Amino acid sequence: MEEKDGRLKALEVTLSQLTKRYGDGAVMKLGSAPGMDVEIIPTGSTGLDIALGVGGIPRGRVSEIFGPEGSGKTTLCQHIIAEAQRDGGIAAFIDVEHVLDPTYAAKCGVNVEELLISQPDTAEQALEITEALVRSGAVDVVVVDSVAALVPRAEIEGEMGDQHVALQARLMSQALRKLTGAIKRSRTAVVFTNQLRMKVGVLFGNPETTPGGRALKFYSSVRLDIRRVQSIKAGTEVIGNRTRVRVKKNKVAPPFKVAEFDIMYDEGISREGDLIDTAVDMGLVEKRGAYYSYGEEKLGQGRENAKAFLRENPELAREISDKVREAAGLAPVPWPARPATERSGSTTPRSAVYAEPSVEEAED
């Protein structure tokens, strides 16, 4: 007993010395650490929030969203930004690809007037800007779009055909080593998007990989694989995509969950469609044949009519959303209010149908 008391006293002295040297919280008991619950930023998709297990992407951590071109990576990031802004947060978009469309971003709910944007010339500049924003402690979410487009300064200043072996990977590894601690302290959600590349000579297994080395895979708490699985058509016109997201890695909840939702070209993620699908799966909205109902309330015949009804009745949509998130053990989030003109006259045709991608679309 005396030996145990002596060890505890020695520990207290050591902790006191460490606190004096490195400040409060340098070493603490895990149970006494404040704010142990995971803080999140919703993704804009109820189904994906549930698949992530905590209600969105975690703050104070790194997340990666990867997939083929045209799969919805940037759209998903814009909805994350919109959710952060809706909660009063500040968002930054590092547009490495130089392709941000302000009009489409606004349709996704982004307040483009308040969005911080940077279009850096080099990878070093992009990562230094990201580090400065994170260390400021004033930014809630930083999106870097994309890792594959990060061009090291040496490559820009060199000649075409020059070989720069693993330069991008070494740069990402160094940046993430420097950023991780600052991201945790500032509670900033940092989201990297990434493209896909093919490994040469792979005969067995998945030949797909992501550029930028392995560091981002290790440092990411969440990795999302996003794919377009179907085209949504009105007649012969493609008006959107059915999108599937797989949670490939998750350090804050069980991984390997899957979510599907629609991305419409005129609005981004279809919130109403996503809510209906999730509520039907959870038994909160009843589907009999083509008719949808919520309790005694008739939502409409057909999914598109039910979506239009919820669009015109945001209070009911908010109620269903709260019930869905409560049933999944998640905190409710504000349901976005649409402008009156958008509620009364949606550009989404009600005769939309799902179709398998054509050969050209599948190659994309």
Any idea what the CATH number is for the domain that residue 138 is in?
Answer: 3.40.50.300
Are 246 and 135 found together in one domain? yes
- Give the chain's end-to-end CA distance (angstroms, integer): 70
Reported as type and span, the H/E element at residue 117 is: strand 116-118
Are 239 and 286 found together in one domain? no
Distance CA 13, CA 7 (A): 10
Tokens of 119: 């279009």
Q: What is the pLDDT of residues 258-289, one digit of tens each?
A: 999 999 999 999 999 999 999 999 999 999 99
Residue 255: C-alpha distances to residues 223, 224, 246, 251, 258 (Å): 9, 10, 9, 8, 9
Peptide bond between residue 221 and the one before it cis (omega within 30 degrees of 0): no
Reported as type and span, the H/E element at residue 294 is: strand 291-294
Q: What is the pLDDT of residues 135-177, one digit of tens each?
A: 999 999 999 999 999 999 999 888 888 888 789 999 999 999 9
What's the pLDDT score for residue 87?
A: 94
Please enumerate in sequence order all residues whose Cβ is within 8 A of that of 303, keeping only pairs 6 or more positions apart, or say none.
Answer: 273, 276, 292
Are 78 and 104 found together in one domain? yes
Are 288 and 149 found together in one domain? no
Are 150 and 209 found together in one domain? yes
pTM of the model: 0.89
Are 86 and 173 found together in one domain? yes
Q: Which domain holds residue 328?
A: 271-336
DSSP letter, residue 97? T
Are 248 and 275 found together in one domain? no
Q: Diameter of the chain by CA atoms? A: 83
Are 43 and 176 found together in one domain? yes
- Give every residue of the chain whose pLDDT is below 70, as ranges: 1, 31-36, 338-351, 356-364
Are 222 and 91 found together in one domain? yes
What's the pLDDT score for residue 353?
A: 74
Distance CA 44, CA 83 (A): 7
What's the pLDDT score for residue 263?
A: 97
Total domains, the chain: 2
Are 253 and 315 found together in one domain? no
